[in-house]
Structure 1
Amino acid sequence: MQRDAMLKPLSGYTVIELGSTVAGPFCGRLLADFGASVIKVETPEGDALRSMGSHKDGVSLYALSMFRNKELISVDLRNEEGQSLLRQLVDKADFVIENFRPGTLERWGLSYETLSASNPGLILIRISGYGQDGPYSRQPGYGVIGEALSGLRSITGDPDRPPARVATSLSDYVTGLYGAFGGMLALEARHRTGKGQIVDTALAECAFSFMEPHVMAYDQLGVIAERAGSRLPGSSPNNLYQSADGCFIHVAALADPIFRRLCTALGDPGLADDPRYVSNRLRSQHSDDVDALVQEWVGARSYEEAHRLLTAHDIPHAKIYNIDDVFTDPHFCARETITRRPHDSLGMVAVPNVTPRLSDTPGQVDTLGRETGADTASVLGRMLGISAEALAGLHSRGVIFDERLAR
C-alpha cells in the first residue's frame, strides 16, 4: 500500500500496532491519520473489534474507520516464529503500541528490554487497565471498568437512578489519545537524547483525569461528587430544557454577562439584578429556581423560535442532536466533519474526518480498513525480504495469515 504522506507531520515514522479493540487501535489511527506508516498486527482470528458494532454484508463497519490508513498483517505471536518476525519488524520501527495485560509481552520474550536492545530509540506505548505496576496491574480491564474504578461512573446519570454510561467507548478513546500524546512527548525527548522510552497509559487513570475538579473539592472540603443528570453543579444555568415541540436544548449561560443577556431574551432584564442571581456562585445556590425560569420560557416556544431568540442574544445553546442531525447539519457539512472513502464492496462509506486540523500539514483519510491479513505478504516481503516461497511456508504452518497465500 503506497500512501502520499509527503506533507504529513509523521511521514517517515514507522509504528507497529499490537493493540486490539479500541484504545490501542485508536492510538494507532491517530498516528496513521497524520502520515505515520502504521502496521497493524492481528492474530489469525482477527482483532476482537471486528466482532463489535454494526456489520453489513459480512463487513465490520467499525473496523473500516478504526483500521483506516493502516497496513494490516496477521501474525501468531503465541508462536516462536511469529515472535521472531515481530522482533525483526520492531527493529525497523519507531513506535510499538500494545494494550495487552501487563506481563504478556514479557511472557512472549518481547519485553522492552529485549526489543530496545537492538533498537535503543524505540518508543513503546503501553495501554492497560491499571498501568504497568501497582496491585491491580495484572487484572483484566476495559474502558468501562476504568470508568467505574476512577469514580467517573459515580457522577454519570440522574441522581435518582443507577450510575449510567455514555453509549460509546469514551475512556478507550481518551486513553488512545493520551497514548498518542505521550508518544509525541517521547519522540521529542528522543530528538534530544537519542533514546526511546516506555509510555505507560492506564485506562483508569485516563478516566480519572475527567474527575479533576472533584479531587480538590474532596481533599479540601470533603465533598463527594454525585450524579446530577444534565445539570453541572456549580454552574447555572447550565442544563437541558424542553421546547414546546419536544426538542431538548442545552443552554449554558453560566457567565454573568451571558446570564444578563439571557434575562433580556427572557423578556425580564431586571432579573439579572435579583440578589439571588447576580453571580454564578449565587445562582448555583438557587439552581432549581433558575432552571424553572428558563424551562418556562423554553417550554412556551418551539425549538426554532427559542433558537432564533437565543441566537439573537448570543447565548451559547444547542439542540440535542442525534447522528442523523449531525450528518445534515450545515456547519458540519461545510467543515467536512464527515468524509467518504471508497470500499471494494460497500461503495462510498462515511467515516469521521481527521481531528485536529493542521493548517500546513493536515492529516487525511486515505484508505479504509480492510480484511485481516490483507497486507501480510507485501509487508513481510518488503520490510524483511522474505521470499514468496518462505511466506507460503509460514502461512501453511499457521505462523502468518494472508488470504492471498491460501489461493
Structure 2
Amino acid sequence: MPQEQAYAGLRVLDMSQGVAGPYCATLLALQGADVVKVEPPGGDWIRVMGGGEAGMTPLAVASNLGKRALCIDARQPAGRAAIERLAARADVLVENFRPGVMARLGLDAATLCARHPALVYLSISGFGASGPWVDKPGTDSVLQAYTGLAMLNREPDGRPRRIGMLVPDTVSALYATQALGAALYARSRTGRGRHVQVSLAECCAAFQAAPIYESALFAGRQAPPTAVPSGVFRTQDGFVTLLVLRQDMWERLCTALGRDAWRSDPDYADNHARGRNAAALNAAIAEQLAGQPSAHWIATLEAADVLCAEVQDYAQFRNHPQMQHMGTFGALAQPPYQTLPMPYLPGTPRGGPIPPAPATGQHTRALLAELGYAADEVAALERHGIAVQG
C-alpha cells in the first residue's frame, strides 16, 4: 500500500507572489497539502517574468506545482470576504507582501490569528518586519548584492557577479518550509498556531554561515585555501572540475598525472604550501588537462580516487545514467506545452506524474462553490470583476 504523503489533509492558503512564498507552498503541495493559490485579477507578476505562453513562464510553473488557483480582488470587500472564508478553514497562510500590505487588507497575522488560534501564518519579507529598510523592495539581484553572494561569486579580477539563478528566493523558500514544519509540529502538541516571520536577507545569511564566519575569523588577512589544487579546467573537448581534499589524494593525483616529482617538491608539500603556490600549480594542471578529452581525464582521475566531474549542461545532467537510475526527473504534462522533464521533490515517491501548475483563476468557480457561494453569487462576483475564472 502506498505511504500517505506527510502533509495530506493540510490546507494551505497561498497569497504570495513571485518565487519565495509560492515555491514554499509548492513544497507543501508536493507532499500532499491542499494548496489554494490566490491571485489578483492581473495575476501573479511572476507570470510575465521570462518566456512562456499563457502566463506559464518556467518560474511560474516550478513555483506553483500541485496547487489550485483562485483569482479574486482582495481590495474589494466582497473579494476579501471570500479570502476570509478560506482563512477560516486553513491550517497555513503564506504571504510575502511588503510589511503593512496585509494589515491594510485586514488580513494580517494579528487579525487572522486572533480569529483562528490554530492558524500558522507565514510572512516572508525582503529585509524584515521593521528597521530602516523595512519598505525596501527585495529582489534577487538586490539580495545577491546586499548579502555578499555576488562578492562570493566574483570574477578572478574581483568584479562581483550575480549567480545565474534565483538563489535568495529559493533558499528562503527552503528555510521557510522548514520553519513551517517546526511550527506545525509545535501545533500538534499545543493546538496553537503562530506567526512565523522570515526574510530573504536572514535566509541568505544562514545559507552562507561558513563563509561569513570565515570572513570574520580571518578579517584583514587571506584565509587559508580549502583545497589546492582545485578548479574548473578546460580539456580538449570540454571542461572538468577536480579538487584535492587530503594529502593522500594529492599523492594519488601526482601519480595519475605522471608528476611524481611533485610529491617531494617543498612548494607542494602540504595544502598550505600548495595554497601559496596555487597559481603556478593550477596553471601546470590546466596545461596538461588541455591535451586530452574530458572522458580520458574522468577515467584517469576516478581510477586514482580523485574528486572530479565533467562539467555538464542540463540536458546532459538529465540524461546521465546515474540520474536515469535514480529516477530523479519525471514527466510534467503542463498546459499549454508538450510534456517536459521536471525533477521530483527530494524525499518523495518517484515514478508517478508530477502535478501541473494552474493557470490564473483556473479553479475559481469550483473553489467559491466549496466555500458555499451559490452559482448566482459567483456570477455576480465575475460580473463585477471581483472574481475571474481562468
TM bracket (short chain) = over 0.9
Matched, 1:283 2:271: no
Q: Give the Cα–Cα distance (whole angstroms) in 1 for the partners of residues 221 and 79 of structure 2.
A: 50
Q: Give the Cα–Cα distance (whole angstroms) in 2 for the partners of residues 144 and 365 of structure 1.
A: 34
Counterparts in 2 of 1:152 and 1:48: CA distance versus 1, 3 Å: same
Greater Cα shift, 337-346 or 295-304:
337-346
Matched, 1:237 2:229: yes
Q: Is there any run of 5+ residues in structure 1 with no aligned partner, and where?
A: 227-231
Counterparts in 2 of 1:188 and 1:303: CA distance versus 1, 3 Å: same
How do residues 228-267 of structure 1 correspond to structure 2 at under 5 angstroms? 233-245=225-237, 247-267=238-258
Matched positions, count: 390
Matched position secondary structure for 1:55: coil
Q: Give the Cα–Cα distance (whole angstroms) in 2 for the partners of residues 225 and 40 of structure 1.
A: 48
Q: Give the Cα–Cα distance (whole angstroms) in 2 for the partners of residues 112 and 19 of structure 1.
A: 14
After superposing on structure 2, the runs of 4+ consecutive aligned residues of structure 1 that deviate more than 6 Å are 361-364
Structure 1 residue 59, shift from structure 2 partner? 4.5
Q: Give the Cα–Cα distance (whole angstroms) in 2 for the partners of residues 385 and 272 of structure 1.
A: 77
Partner of 1:229: none
Matched, 1:387 2:374: yes
Matched position secondary structure for 2:121: strand
The structure 2 residue matched to 1:46, chosen from 39, 43, 47, is 43
The structure 1 residue matched to 2:306, chosen from 306, 315, 324, is 315
Greater Cα shift, 5-14 or 28-37:
5-14
Partner of 1:219: 216
Partner of 2:347: 357
Counterparts in 2 of 1:200 and 1:357: CA distance versus 1, 3 Å: same
Structure 1 residue 308, shift from structure 2 partner? 1.1
Partner of 2:135: 138
8 Å contact kept, 1:241–1:295:
yes
Per-residue CA distance 1:140-166 (angstroms, 9 max, x = gap): 111221121112212213131531112
Structure 1 residue 199, shift from structure 2 partner? 1.8
Per-residue CA distance 1:65-87 (angstroms, 9 max, x = gap): 32211011111111122222112
8 Å contact kept, 1:341–1:367:
yes
Counterparts in 2 of 1:315 and 1:188: CA distance versus 1, 3 Å: same
Q: Give the Cα–Cα distance (whole angstroms) in 2 for the partners of residues 200 and 272 of structure 1.
A: 53
Partner of 1:207: 204
Q: Give the Cα–Cα distance (whole angstroms) in 2 for the partners of residues 366 and 309 of structure 1.
A: 39
Q: Give the Cα–Cα distance (whole angstroms) in 2 for the partners of residues 65 and 214 of structure 1.
A: 29
Structure 1 residue 105, shift from structure 2 partner? 0.5
Q: Give the Cα–Cα distance (whole angstroms) in 1 for the partners of residues 169 and 382 of structure 2.
A: 33
Structure 1 residue 233, shift from structure 2 partner? 4.3
Q: Is there any run of 5+ residues in structure 2 with no aligned partner, and where?
A: none
Structure 1 residue 212, shift from structure 2 partner? 2.2
Q: Give the Cα–Cα distance (whole angstroms) in 1 for the partners of residues 10 and 152 of structure 2.
A: 40
Partner of 1:399: 386
Structure 1 residue 27, shift from structure 2 partner? 0.6
Per-residue CA distance 1:257-293 (angstroms, 9 max, x = gap): 2222211211234523433333323322221132123
TM-score by length of 2: 0.93
Counterparts in 2 of 1:364 and 1:223: CA distance versus 1, 3 Å: farther
Counterparts in 2 of 1:73 and 1:156: CA distance versus 1, 3 Å: same
8 Å contact kept, 2:327–2:350:
no
The structure 2 residue matched to 1:374, chosen from 362, 367, 372, is 362
Q: Give the Cα–Cα distance (whole angstroms) in 1 for the partners of residues 185 and 319 of structure 2.
A: 40
Structure 1 residue 362, shift from structure 2 partner? 7.0
Counterparts in 2 of 1:268 and 1:212: CA distance versus 1, 3 Å: same
8 Å contact kept, 2:47–2:55:
no
The structure 2 residue matched to 1:268, chosen from 256, 259, 274, is 259
TM-score by length of 1: 0.89
Counterparts in 2 of 1:177 and 1:293: CA distance versus 1, 3 Å: same
Per-residue CA distance 1:32-69 (angstroms, 9 max, x = gap): 11111111111111111111222147753443332211
Partner of 1:306: 297
Per-residue CA distance 1:235-262 (angstroms, 9 max, x = gap): 21221111123x1111121222222221
Matched position secondary structure for 2:333: strand
8 Å contact kept, 1:68–1:367:
yes
